[in-house]
Amino acid sequence: MTTATDQIRETIEKNDVVLFMKGTKMMPQCGFSSRVAGVLNYMGVNFADVNVLADAEVRQGIKDFSDWPTIPQLYVKGEFVGGCDIVTEMTLSGELDALFEAKGVTFDKDAAEKIRAANG
């Protein structure tokens, strides 16, 4: 029988970028999830979305898995990046671009620059 932890690990291993969020990338169910999904969508990042509201075991499981108390949670190439505040800071500082470049994740550099310009 597959546990929530197995399911989480498998999802993270099979996808370069995964966002564990409330809702889906097209229909986010909370502002923080919406912000991170919006940044990824705007930057043209191909990512898997996991709706934690659809499965209570996954919702608790991802918090235990990452030892991080809040949703959303972003993973890039198997590595836990952080939640909304961290992703926002990394986007504005250019660290997210650097991470994507280092991990070989395709994204729109111009879109990332526009986000920084709009929030600078």
Nearest Cα to 4, choosing from 83, 65, 82, 51?
Answer: 65
Task: Cite the annotated binding site for [2Fe-2S] cluster by residue number.
Answer: 30
Specify whether the CB–CB gap between 91 and 113 falls below 8 A. no
Provide CB contacts within 8 A for 12, sequence distance 6+. 18, 75, 78
Q: Which element (helix H / strand E) includes 19?
A: strand 17-21
Q: Which token pair is 108? A: 């729109």
Which positions make up the binding site? Answer: 30
Residue type, 43: M
